[in-house]
Chains A and B, each alone.
Chain A
Amino acid sequence: MKHLLSTADLSREEAIAILDIAEEMRETGTRQVKKLPALRGRTVVNLFFEDSTRTRISFEAAAKRLSADVINFSAKGSSVSKGESLKDTAQTLLAIGADAVVIRHPDSGAPARLAATDWIGLPIVNAGDGTHEHPTQALLDAFTLRRQLALREGVSPVGRGLDGLKVAIVGDILHSRVARSNLWLLNTLGASVTMVAPPTLLPVGAGAWPCRISYSLDAVIESGVDAVMMLRVQGERMRAAFFPNPREYSRYWGLDDTRLKALEAKGHDTLILHPGPMNRGLEISSAAADSPASMVLEQVTNGVAVRMASLYMLLSGDLI
């Protein structure tokens, strides 16, 4: 593995290998001394062209727990706001001595472009590009699902996929890089996916995706699912006529208290995931966010482990 750009690039074996290493990394996170010496002396740059505190600190914690040095580069107030190109910014970081670049960028494909050009020649981790992909989020979601199912069955998650699991991804699919990365990875791992959204928030062309598509969250809950992933919905979308207003959105596609009860009544022990930050009362009610089925904080914890595994595999290099 040279870069981590898209979950569509991962074979089942590679994906499971990352999840398995993440299991080991997660164990070290429960110890008193959380640090491993694996990447001592290496420098990881977090190159963030978009505001994101959660993902950046997760990558920062991951790199530091592997003893790497971390440089945080935020586009705001930097040379980028003075018109510096991505190429010049990246080459500057190379000259400073970076060994790997974790990049978040508002343009779909910017990390792939960085990887495909001769601008730098460093391993690239996509930390979210436009509305394209967010592969480490999908990996941490898969990790969370796999771990919970294994715990439930009292077996080890190591070496397993997500075969036969039914997952619903609900919300603003059109603008969601999380949904796309999850779609490919869940399929690779053997799960079946249903995308649930108002038709305005599904891309034209999604009919060719390897998933079912539904406009009715109630019908999908009624059919029985093992996990629901609620996506963040921006209230501003109503201004571009994607839906009439947040209340109507919530009424049809929000995981509200009534739907939480319906999920519980099915007796499926359906897991509730959300990539954060949550809009409580819009796509998810407080009762759902705080319920025992909610994996929201578990996802955050697992995110560090998955990002440790990703950086470790890219920078130590000899594993895959």
Chain B
Amino acid sequence: MKYLIRQAAVLGGQATDVLIIDGKIAQLGELHDAEATVIEAAGLVLLPGLVDPHTHLREPGREDAETVETGSQAAARGGYTAVHAMANSTPVADNAGVVEQVYELGRKAGWVDVRPVGAVTVGLGGQQLSEIGAMADSRAKVRMFSDDGICVWDPLLMRRALEYVKAFDGVIAQHAQEPRLTEGAQMNEGEVSAVLGMTGWPAVAEESIIARDVLLAEHVGARLHVCHVSTAGSVEIIRWAKARGICVTAEVTPHHLLLTDEKVKTFDPVFKVNPPLRREEDVLALRAGVADGTIDVIGTDHAPHPSEAKDCEWGAAAMGMTGLETALSIVQHTLVQTGLLSWADVARITSFTPAKIGSLEDQGRPIAVGEPANLTLVDPAARWIVDPSTMATKGRNSPFAGMELPGAVRATFFHGHPTVLDGALATPRVAHD
């Protein structure tokens, strides 16, 4: 199939025509092709397909919350062409069998590249390294390893994991949370938790682990990825580590770029998330961290839950928020419209760099002739009101419900196949191999 995208602003710059043939970008410039399906894109921004370093697809085990199919549909609608599926499924993705299963489900679904993340430790138990080599060498070609949801707390085990993955060109993605300092934690520890009488999740519980881990990464010469950075102090530590030449990358979620712990005053568990929503000062420090390159990537931490897990009191509720279908709008709202980032920067933090961190070869590529046509068309002038009931994800737990947001994904091309057209899901790509 041939597609001709007409007059799209590539990375927000010059308006150009883009011809896609057989999954690749065939030509750029002033183009005409009578056989191609034409997509009028005047006023739209063309980005490389988004790559999420941090998604929970819930399958296998919690298909009531999400499946690889519904989660990857949500991803396509959000402009994504690749997602990293976190390992905390049931059974845990701690062996080649489970990661190949998830990879296969993703391939058959055909909406995005589903790249499984392997667990660092067996059963996320924090005791014994999982078969990292077997997962790396499997058909799923796992490169990112994480016990996300649980911190690799044992300093010796973390050291060994950082060392060991070097043999497989892997990276450890750490969920930085000191467990003793966060026992029973419900929300950010600060002025709001003092008033609400909720057990606090102090910033130091995140920062102390990040400080330890960057020093470990330096000591053993490994690379470290820090998941969902949420505090101003964490940004400072990572900024220091990068200045020192330590090989660390960091991720921030869209919700931590916008929402604060003031939301918890509603006691609505849709705002319950781990790490928790922090203070306004933290939100501003995170944005500044993205702007100066301290924070490398946006990770959605998309965490769908069935309605009963949120339709309850705060203490009984599950932690997590959906995010795939709102991420780009939140990025535009918090980083582009505030003047902190250009669209070229957006391409870097949502596609180029996350693909590099995950070692994805044909994702996050430049928009150039001969490159795979993983592309996203965004209408930056659109405005829409978030309605979780219309989303592709099974999860209805969007913290942005009812908010008016800028920017809408008009089309997503996944290896040259339109998975989203006119802002709606189109058809999956049929895998040929």
Do A and B interact with each other, yes or no?
Answer: yes
Are the C-beta atoms of A108 and B311 separated by less than 8 Å?
A: no
* Chain B residues within 8 Å of chain A by Cβ, number: 23
State in angstroms the CA–CA spacing of A180 and B192 once bound together: 12
Interface bits B231-274 vs A (CB < 8 Å: 1, else 0): 00000000000000000000000000000000000111000000
Residue in contact with A203 in the complex, picked from B194, B311, B316, CB distance below 8 Å = B194
Interface bits A82-121 vs B (CB < 8 Å: 1, else 0): 0001110000000000000000011111101110110000
309-324 of chain B: CB within 8 A of chain A: 311-316
Report chain B residues within 8 Å CB of A132. 196-198
Report chain A residues within 8 Å CB of B198. 108-109, 130-132
Min Cβ gap B190→A in Å is 5
Interface residue? A133 (CB, 8 A):
yes
Are the C-beta atoms of B266 and A116 separated by less than 8 Å?
A: yes
Report chain A residues within 8 Å CB of B311. 85, 87, 117
Interface residue? A208 (CB, 8 A):
yes
Secondary structure type dominating chain A contacts:
mixed
Min Cβ gap B193→A in Å is 6
Interface residue? A205 (CB, 8 A):
yes
Min Cβ gap B158→A in Å is 25
Are the C-beta atoms of A108 and B314 separated by less than 8 Å?
A: yes
CB within 8 Å for A180 and B314 given contacts A116-B267, A204-B202: no
Min Cβ gap B272→A in Å is 11
> Considering only CB atoms, which chain A residue lies closest to B194 in the complex?
A205
State in angstroms the CA–CA spacing of A131 and B198 once bound together: 7
Are the C-beta atoms of B197 and A180 separated by less than 8 Å?
A: yes
Min Cβ gap B180→A in Å is 10
> Considering only CB atoms, which chain B residue lies closest to A134 in the complex?
B197
Interface bits B291-320 vs A (CB < 8 Å: 1, else 0): 000000000000000001001111110000
Are the C-beta atoms of A116 and B313 separated by less than 8 Å?
A: no
Min Cβ gap B27→A in Å is 56
Interface residue? A38 (CB, 8 A):
no
CB within 8 Å for A107 and B315 given contacts A116-B266, A204-B190: yes
> Considering only CB atoms, which chain A residue lies closest to B267 in the complex?
A109
Are the C-beta atoms of B194 and A208 separated by less than 8 Å?
A: yes
CB within 8 Å for A110 and B197 given contacts A116-B267, A204-B190, A205-B190: no
State in angstroms the CA–CA spacing of A105 and B312 once bound together: 13
Residue in contact with A86 in the complex, picked from B186, B197, B316, CB distance below 8 Å = B316
Sorting the interface of chain A by its residue count into under 10, 10 to 19, 20 to 34 or 35 or more gives 20 to 34
Are the C-beta atoms of A113 and B200 separated by less than 8 Å?
A: no
Residue in contact with B189 in the complex, picked from A87, A131, A205, A208, CB distance below 8 Å = A205
Interface bits B181-214 vs A (CB < 8 Å: 1, else 0): 0000010011111111110101000000000000
Min Cβ gap A9→B in Å is 12
Are the C-beta atoms of A107 and B313 separated by less than 8 Å?
A: yes
State in angstroms the CA–CA spacing of A86 and B269 once bound together: 14
Min Cβ gap B166→A in Å is 39
Min Cβ gap B107→A in Å is 38
Are the C-beta atoms of A108 and B191 separated by less than 8 Å?
A: no
> Considering only CB atoms, which chain A residue lies closest to B266 in the complex?
A116
Report chain A residues within 8 Å CB of B194. 203-206, 208-209
Are the C-beta atoms of A85 and B197 separated by less than 8 Å?
A: no
State in angstroms the CA–CA spacing of A203 and B112 once bound together: 46
Are the C-beta atoms of B312 and A85 separated by less than 8 Å?
A: yes
State in angstroms the CA–CA spacing of A133 and B191 once bound together: 16
Interface residue? A147 (CB, 8 A):
no
> Considering only CB atoms, which chain B residue lies closest to A205 in the complex?
B194
State in angstroms the CA–CA spacing of A129 and B312 once bound together: 15
State in angstroms the CA–CA spacing of A182 and B290 once bound together: 43
Report chain B residues within 8 Å CB of A112. 267
State in angstroms the CA–CA spacing of A87 and B307 once bound together: 12
Report chain A residues within 8 Å CB of B202. 204
CB within 8 Å for A113 and B197 given contacts A85-B308, A107-B316, A205-B192: no
Report chain A residues within 8 Å CB of B266. 116
> Considering only CB atoms, which chain A residue lies closest to B198 in the complex?
A108
> Considering only CB atoms, which chain A residue lies closest to B191 in the complex?
A205
Report chain B residues within 8 Å CB of A87. 311-312
> Considering only CB atoms, which chain A residue lies closest to B190 in the complex?
A205
Min Cβ gap B316→A in Å is 7
State in angstroms the CA–CA spacing of A278 and B186 once bound together: 29
Residue in contact with A208 in the complex, picked from B186, B191, B197, B200, CB distance below 8 Å = B191
CB within 8 Å for A109 and B316 given contacts A116-B266, A204-B202, A205-B189: no
Residue in contact with A113 in the complex, picked from B189, B195, B314, CB distance below 8 Å = B314
Given contacts A107-B313, A110-B267, A180-B195, 4 further A-B contacts (CB under 8 A): A108-B196, A131-B197, A131-B198, A133-B197
Q: Which 5 pairs of residues, A with B, have the shortest CB-CB distance?
A: A205-B194, A107-B315, A109-B267, A131-B197, A132-B197
Interface CB pairs A-B, < 8 A, 12:
A85-B312, A106-B315, A110-B267, A113-B312, A130-B197, A131-B198, A180-B195, A180-B197, A203-B194, A206-B194, A207-B191, A208-B191
